Amino acid sequence: MDNRPSSHNPSRAECISAIRRILMTEVLENGRNDHFKNATDFMSYFESLYPASPSLLKQVQRAVREMDMPKDSRGYFIINKTHEQLRQDEDLTVMIQRTHAHIVDSDGCDLLFLATEPTYRSYLLQLIRESETLRGKYLTIIDTSDGILFITKNRQALSDLLLRLTKDSSDTESDQNP
């Protein structure tokens, strides 16, 4: 293999490919880019393969400009996100902070499905959400095509309560129909 530098400059596509490879390797090895902020930071690599010249620097600068990579808060290139993805991440961060969102551990969670007819399901769902009796018995409820799905950490207590409410409603119906 010939280790002598090539006598011609790389194409812009070759520069882009090499820069992408360099940055991906950096991210894979270190978890993030801690070395590359501008085109000149790539020059030691390119000068090891091509004769150092102002035209080589210009070609690398054009490649970096064409890649249009966003930078992190420290000024380093971000290879694995676009400007749009970065903007979306910033919006998500703001909303997560504004809504005081936090992770709830789902270990030990169970699913409980309450089959219902669709006619009054949305009203039933509203009543469940507003119920002081059911408050704290589930983490979340989800309206589905055939009923209401509960995610709960205390399946038995929720099940017993829903069964009691179901029986109370059937007792009320039987009282009305002698």
Give per-residue pLDDT as tens, 16-35: 999 999 999 999 999 999 99
Give pLDDT tens digits for 130-174: 999 999 999 999 999 999 999 999 999 999 999 998 886 555 444
* Per-residue buried b or exposed e for 136-149, using 16+ beta carbons within 10 Å of the residue's own CB: ebbeebeeeeebbe
* pLDDT of the residue at 171: 54
Q: Among the listed ranges 6-10, 83-87, 93-97, 170-174, which one has the minimum average pLDDT value?
A: 170-174
* pLDDT of the residue at 166: 85
* pLDDT of the residue at 178: 46
> What gap in Å lies between CA 45 and CA 170, rounded to an integer?
79
Cβ contact 147:121 at 8 Å: yes
pLDDT bracket for residue 1 (50, 70, 90): very low
> What gap in Å lies between CA 5 and CA 113, rounded to an integer?
69
106: pLDDT strictly greater than 50: yes
Greater model confidence, 106 or 47: 47
Give pLDDT tens digits for 72-85: 999 999 998 999 99
Query: If 0-12 CB within 10 Å is exposed, 13-18 middle and 19+ buried, where does residue 60 land?
Result: buried
* pLDDT of the residue at 98: 96
